Amino acid sequence: MLKELQPALILLALLSALTGAAYPALVTGLAQATMPDQANGSLLKENGQAVGSRLIGQPFSDPRYFWGRPSATAPMPYNGGSSGGANLGPLNPALEAALQERISVLKAADPSQQAPIPVDLVTASASGLDPHISPAAARWQAPRVARLRGLPEAQVLALLERHTEGHQWGFLGEPRVNVLALNRALDQAAP
């Protein structure tokens, strides 16, 4: 019986070493050599301390900041260990209630804003971790942010334009704004 098991055990050990150690080490080494920022989580740092990642949204509720897309992760918003959407269908009353609540919060934060609210400010992404909003969603919030920070709206809009990312590789996706990066830039520009 040992004679029959010996090749299987040797193959198990070899494949375990190959797929459990050699391959992950190779991929990690290549990632560190070719794209170290992404391999290490695309962290944004201030004074040597990580303040967040460009890949995961952050909960901003202070009206002086731009707000990102709502997050449906549990038990807290933007929980990287619990990625997922709300999975509420379009006819679900709970979805309608959530949308109305989000609209009410946005209108209460800026009662003078009469333009239609961009959809990405009231709907969660499929992952619940989206760090970006559309330029339209950022422009919609700009008057509130400028007023509450005591900055000229033109200065906030110029900052927004500098932080608008174009299509990925020139043709994929839509232009977008990383909320964390924009809010960090706002803090540096504040009077």
Mean pLDDT of 14-23: 95
pLDDT tens digit sequence for 134-146? 999 999 999 999 9
What are the φ/ψ torsions at residue 114 (nearest 5 degrees)?
-105, -5
The answer to whether the CB of 52 falls within 8 A of the CB of 58 is yes
The answer to whether the CB of 55 falls within 8 A of the CB of 66 is no
Rounded to a whole number of angstroms, the distance between the first and last alpha carbons of the chain is 80
Residue 57 is classified by DSSP as -
Sheet holding 132-133, edge to edge: 132-133, 176-178, 164-165
pLDDT tens digit sequence for 112-169? 999 999 999 999 888 888 999 999 999 999 999 999 999 999 999 999 999 999 988 8
